[in-house]
Amino acid sequence: MTFGFNSSLLLTGPRPDLTPLARAFPIAALPRVLREAALHVSKSKRISTTTTGMTVSGVASFVAMNLARFKMPGKNGGTRTASIYSVIITPWMAEECRAIDPFMSVIQTHDKAAIQLHLLAMKQFKLAHADWKDDRKDLRTLKKKLRRDGGSWQRIQADLEEHDKTEPIEPIEKRLLFSDITSSRFIGQLDGIGRSLGLVSDGADFVLENLPRLCGYLNLGFDGHQIELDRAKGKSLIAYDPRITVLLSVKNDLINRFDGSYGSRMRSTEYWGRNLFGTAFKISDEQYLADVNVSQDALDVFLERTYELIAELERRRHEGITELDEVELDDEATECWNAFAMEMNSGMSCDDHVGHLVDISDFASRAAEHAGRLATVWTVIIGEKKISIETIQGAIDVIRFHLGEFQDRYSLFRAVPNLMLQAHDLDKFLSRIWQAGHRDVPKSFIERNAKSDLRNVTDLDAALKLLKMMSMVQLLPGPGRGLRIVHVPHPGRPFQFRT
């Protein structure tokens, strides 16, 4: 008998089978307008539903984050931006742009027009600002002359102060998508109050190159906190109430190399925990898609809805409306969301059981928030005022998928199978010591008496760290510079896998 990652049976005989699980993206959980558009693109272009399902929600977030926020349950819950950070991991032969482009045509058309209008506005601004500077220079020259000649210059000073109030304001670029994320330019796109930035890349090479320097700013943007950047020359850049959505599609080997160099930093800053990961090539959708019958009309409905929301955004901008709608859960949805949040909190606890989420708490602690953000985006797209029970249940299903994907990549229980097996063997070895009546044992005893792969200092330290994280042992100072391994009474020993 073998046991996969999701087994919760007691292991008393064979060692567990740690082969990664294949999982299907829960495409059926998406609202109809998103689901059918994604299915059409998947079938017509032979692309995984993981890719199209994540892409369609990411594209929807580019618009929705400018219209609404997620209102967290509870009196002091506060609000969260309706933005999503997504990382779609694809095999080297995949053509990511085939998935992104069909969903982006309306936004791309909007941005082309916005860029042309901005170029024209910038030309007019530069002319007006040059005239303003000339007039200011004339006033300053006159003021200096009067002061030098002993004349009355106070009236000119008053004119100068009034003139300064009329300085032309540089126009804001109103496109939705950007690709330049070098530090000053990146923050410059957010400089001001309530500005947004949609970062999309179908290769992500350049984005990953700059990501280690920018992950702190992206963390602030994800949380809606103020971003500041002091420049050596010129004014400081400050972004108040920023909104950022990130949609990256990256080759598997590229992100593996990146994680090898910067993965620990991405985890320690909790940047990766703010992202939804999905691996597009773990399963084949061909058999599932064979029974799908959706036409181009499904994609057209999604694009039409995107057009309507962009038109609403432009109307608000034209009328000077800066407040965002606050989208909250209805009563049934609130109960469902609270239950999911409690489940995640329980999974991160080691008080009375093995916390299966304890080593991915950077994602698990945000899982309920991720679900709320995603549900808010969907609610805006389908035109409802509150998040329904059906919508939050679908969002939770999607977040459970991403939770599993995150565990596959970053959990000690899954990402390092050899270490898991060594911890399993070490726990069995220690169990015999505990059963003999010993409460603790020096680490040196294991180094002398355990089997060869556990006597290796590096492997032993890592296995002990994992058992400590699972609250199965305590590590206390021992004789000299050594360690003392203390038994923690635990139900279900010798070893338990949980999901």
pLDDT recorded at residue 55: 94
pLDDT, tens digit, 9 for 90 and up, residues 29-39: 999 999 999 99
> What is the reported pTM?
0.76
pLDDT, tens digit, 9 for 90 and up, residues 237-259: 888 999 999 999 888 888 888 98
pLDDT for 305 beyond 70: yes
Chosen CATH of 417-487 out of 1.10.10, 2.40.160, 3.30.70, 2.60.40: 1.10.10
Domains of the chain, residue spans: 23-322, 417-487
pLDDT, tens digit, 9 for 90 and up, residues 189-222: 888 888 888 888 877 677 888 888 889 999 999 9
pLDDT recorded at residue 2: 29
What mean pLDDT do residues 403-409 have? 90
pLDDT recorded at residue 455: 62
SS (H, E, C) the chain: CCCCCCCCCECCCCCCCCCCCCCCCCHHHCCHHHHHHHHHHHHHHCCCHHHHHHHHHHHHHHHHCCCEEEECCCCCCCEEECCCEEEEEECCCCCCHHHHHHHHHHHHHHHHHHHHHHHHHHHHHHHHHHHHHHHHHHHHHHHHHHHHHCCCCHHHHHHHHHHHCCCCCCCCCCCCEECCCCHHHHHHCCCEECCEEEEEECCCHHHHHHHHHHHHHHHHHHHCCCEEECCCCCCCEEEECCEEEEEEEEEHHHHHHHHHHHHHHHHHCCCHHHEEEEECCCCCCHHHHHCCCCCHHHHHHHHHHHHHHHHHHHHHHHCCCCCCEEECECHHHHHHHHHHHHHHHHHCCCCCCCCCCHHHHHHHCCHHHHHHHHHHHHHHHHCCCCECHHHHHHHHHHHHHHHHHHHHHHCHHHHCHHHHHHHHHHHHHHHHHHHCCCCEEEHHHHHHHCCHHHHCHHHHHHHHHHHHHCCCEEEEECCCCCEEEEECCCCCCCCECCC
Instruction: Tell me the C-alpha distance between 327 and 207, whole Å.
Output: 31
pLDDT, tens digit, 9 for 90 and up, residues 149-193: 887 888 888 888 888 888 888 888 888 887 767 767 777 788 888
pLDDT, tens digit, 9 for 90 and up, residues 407-442: 888 886 654 556 777 787 888 888 888 888 888 888
pLDDT for 8 beyond 70: no
